[in-house]
């Protein structure tokens, strides 16, 4: 069984989009499925909107919404689905506790993770935002790696996402399930050079944080560690950073190499 990952159902070919279509991704279904065990989710179907359905869009308002952003019917701003999508995200967050990543459908007013079109109530386009469901899930499960399907066509972004998913899975399986000083230190030893390749400042901070495991309760140290760790891995490991790590590792072999 692969690593559990949530995914927008339309990306697996399910005909759940507003027009009765899908957005099947051959790469996600045929390649990454060898490593990931998908949980397909469509929040718009989940809140009972049905197929086919009228499309929705994001609008900015001056209402009581914390963000001032609402999901409304494209042809009727008074028909809104914001709270239903947030409630559905809360429900799914409780179901995804053993999942280690999430792949969203891009540009969706519910699922879009970045750069979803945002409109003024009068229909004029404004800036961009996150989809309502995606933003709420991000707030509820901040450590879980998340990415949009469209962005995974970029090799470096794809590698970064897969790395984060696998590292988070390792944490869940071998540290979070049994937090001990040994498990925490063993995890850091496994990943410290990967950390160096992604974000050297975090590598230094986390190394220092583990130098005194009696400074705070271990659960608190572990929480702070994985929060900084997952943020660090969001930085792309490029050729220059990887070269720096390899040169660092070469120092351990200087007595064995001519």
Low-confidence ranges of the chain (pLDDT < 70): 62-66
**What pLDDT, on a 0 to 100 scale, did the predictor assign at position 66?**
64
Pair type for strands 125-129 and 116-120:
antiparallel
Structure tokens at 59: 């609008």
Phi, psi of 225 (to 5 degrees): -65, -55
**What pLDDT, on a 0 to 100 scale, did the predictor assign at position 121?**
83
Write down the pTM of the prediction: 0.93
**What pLDDT, on a 0 to 100 scale, did the predictor assign at position 101?**
98
215 by DSSP, 3-state: which?
coil
CA–CA separation, 118 and 126 (whole Å): 5
Pair type for strands 116-120 and 56-60:
parallel
**What pLDDT, on a 0 to 100 scale, did the predictor assign at position 10?**
97
**What pLDDT, on a 0 to 100 scale, did the predictor assign at position 257?**
80
Strand order in the sheet with 116-120: 76-80, 69-73, 56-60, 116-120, 125-129
**What pLDDT, on a 0 to 100 scale, did the predictor assign at position 62?**
65
Cα end-to-end span (Å), the chain:
44
Q: Please list, residue by residue across 82-115, b when 16 or more beta carbons sit within 10 angstroms of its beta carbon and e when fewer do.
A: bebbbebbeebbeebeebbbbbbbbbbbbbbbbe
Pair type for strands 56-60 and 69-73:
antiparallel
Paired with 57 in beta bridges are 72
């Amino acid at each position: 069984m692969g690593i559990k990952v949530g995914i927008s159902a339309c990306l697996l070919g399910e005909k759940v989009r507003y027009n009765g279509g899908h957005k099947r991704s051959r790469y996600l279904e045929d390649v990454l499925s060898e490593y990931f065990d998908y949980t397909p989710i469509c929040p718009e179907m989940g809140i009972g909107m049905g197929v086919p359905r009228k499309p929705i869009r994001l609008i900015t308002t001056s209402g009581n919404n914390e963000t001032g952003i609402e999901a409304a019917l494209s042809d009727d701003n008074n028909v809104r689905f914001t709270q239903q999508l947030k409630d559905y995200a809360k429900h799914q967050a409780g179901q995804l506790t053993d999942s280690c990543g999430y792949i969203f459908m891009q540009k969706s007013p519910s699922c879009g993770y970045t750069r979803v079109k945002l409109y003024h109530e009068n229909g004029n386009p404004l800036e961009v935002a996150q989809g309502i469901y995606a933003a709420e899930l991000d707030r509820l499960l901040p450590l879980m790696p998340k990415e949009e399907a469209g962005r995974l066509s970029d090799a470096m972004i794809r590698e970064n996402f897969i790395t984060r998913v696998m590292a988070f899975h390792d944490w869940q399986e071998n540290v979070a399930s049994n937090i001990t000083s040994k498990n925490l230190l063993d995890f850091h030893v496994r990943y410290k050079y990967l950390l160096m390749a992604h974000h050297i400042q975090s590598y230094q901070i986390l190394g220092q944080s583990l130098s005194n495991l009696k400074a705070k309760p271990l659960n608190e140290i572990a929480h702070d560690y994985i929060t900084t760790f997952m943020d660090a891995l969001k930085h792309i490991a490029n050729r220059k950073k990887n070269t720096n790590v390899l040169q660092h590792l070469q120092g351990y072999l200087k007595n064995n190499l001519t």
